Amino acid sequence: MSDSPALELNNVSHYFADTRVLHDINLQVQHGSITALLGPSGGGKTTLLRIIAGLERPQHGTVRIDDVVVADEKTWVPAHERGVALVPQEGALFPHLTVAENVAFGLKKRRSPAVKNRVAEMLELVGLPQSGNVRPSELSGGMQQRVALARALATQPTLVLLDEPFSALDAGLRESLRDQVVDILRAASATAIWVTHDQDEALSIADSVAVLLNGRIAQKSDPVSVYRTPQSTEVAHFIGETVPFEGSVLGDSESVQSRFGQIGLLQPHQPGPATILIRPEQFEIVAADSAEATVVGEVTATRYFGHDGTVEVQFSDGVVATVRLHARLLPDVGSTVGVIVNGRVLAFQPS
């Protein structure tokens, strides 16, 4: 394995007619890693995946796979020569072939003993060792997706591309299958790019998260950094929930004065007026007459989600804070409560 990235994109841009859908994309994906390509629907994720796969040609920029140029102004390597495997949303298995024949489809000399051994190895890897002779229609949706992954891994591709692979499955099955697929990719030491619009999914499965907003890579970091220290308000608002408040960064550039008192900053910020962003789980509700209550407000709404819930607390000036609590701790609507902030917060220039 070389020291070069498995994938490198340099200044990749793409248009549909007069509409620019990708803007100067720069991205590196390291060997053996899982990178989540996260963004809202219509943000260019699938277009970028198709460019990497060789199904779409970018108008500008360079695509390198294993340090080999596969697309630029002069070069175009077709999809079947790139060493890339695509797992689409629906799996796209061939209904007239058996599971084993589907897995063997991309392999040369499909009837050789070596191929049979490889197919058996892949079906064992995805937990379907006894399913080789059945048709895809005899399998559940989750099983079909695992067969699609086995087919993708069978050729030992440089890159495995997963395009929102579980979007058609119900929530419970989606979470279970997601964990299985991550384990399979890790066991195979595969390099994967996983397209998703689900923030929880991206943060939980990936080594690195590339946030694609309005056709631009807004940030690429490890999951903890993307959530805790987003580089812009756009990323902060997209990754989880945030509650904005006005504040003033103090002269040390490492703390901010706010309605909740003095709070430390996650990242230094220039002194002066700032918008501070607080995650709902950073708030804590205490008794209104408690000495630690830095501010009090009225509970105007609660929402119960089973494992936890949210509380809307309105302060005297009309500003509302959304607080996330354990479901057993939800206060009554109409009650007066104190609110404090735990941990450090983010500060950005006022918009």
CATH number at residue 19: 3.40.50.300
- Is 230 found in the same domain as 267? no
- If one counts the domains in the chain, the total is 2
Question: Which strands sit side by side in the sheet containing 68-71, from one edge to the other?
Answer: 19-29, 7-16, 60-65, 68-71
Counting as low any pLDDT under 70, the low residues of the chain are 1-2, 91, 109-111, 168
Can you say whether the dihedral through the CA atoms of 129, 179, 165, 33 is positive or negative? Answer: negative
126 plus 250 within the same structural domain: no
Token duo for residue 215: 């056709």
- Looking at residue 109, its pLDDT comes to 63
Pair 250, 124 in one domain: no
Residue 166 falls within a domain, yes or no? Answer: yes
State the pLDDT at residue 141.
84
Mark which of 218, 237, 256 sits at the end of a domain.
237
The pLDDT > 70 percentage for the chain reads: 98
Q: How many Cα atoms occupy the beta-carbon half-sphere of 8 within 13 Å?
A: 11
Last residue of one domain, picked from the residues 220, 237, 254: 237
Same domain, 162 and 29: yes
In this structure, the answer to whether residues 199 and 58 fall within a common structural domain is yes
Q: Is residue 259 part of a domain?
A: yes
Q: Give the residue numbers spanning the domain of 278.
A: 241-348
**2 domain-assigned:** no
Tell me if 170 is assigned to some domain: yes
Per DSSP bridges, beta strands 34-38 and 192-196 are parallel
- Give the per-residue pLDDT at 2: 58
* Assigned domain for 193 exists: yes
- Residues 6+ away with beta carbon under 8 Å from 84: 52, 53, 54, 65, 157, 158, 159, 160, 161
**Domain endpoint, select from 195, 215, 237:** 237
Inside any domain, residue 1? no
**Is 200 part of a structural domain of the chain?**
yes
Note whether 258 and 220 are same-domain residues. no
Same domain, 193 and 256: no
The pLDDT assigned to 97 comes to 93
In this prediction, residue 110 carries a pLDDT of: 57
Q: Is residue 95 part of a domain?
A: yes
Say whether both 20 and 127 belong to one domain: yes
223 in the same domain as 157 = yes
User: Which residue in 287, 273, 216 sits closest to 245, CA to CA?
Assistant: 273
Q: Are residues 176 and 30 in the same domain?
A: yes
198 and 284 in a single domain? The answer is no
- CATH assignment at residue 341: 2.40.50.140
Based on the fold, state whether residues 189 and 279 are members of the same structural domain. no
Q: What is the pLDDT of residues 203-243, one digit of tens each?
A: 999 999 999 999 999 999 999 999 999 999 999 999 989 99
**Whole-number Å distance between alpha carbons of 351 and 349:** 6
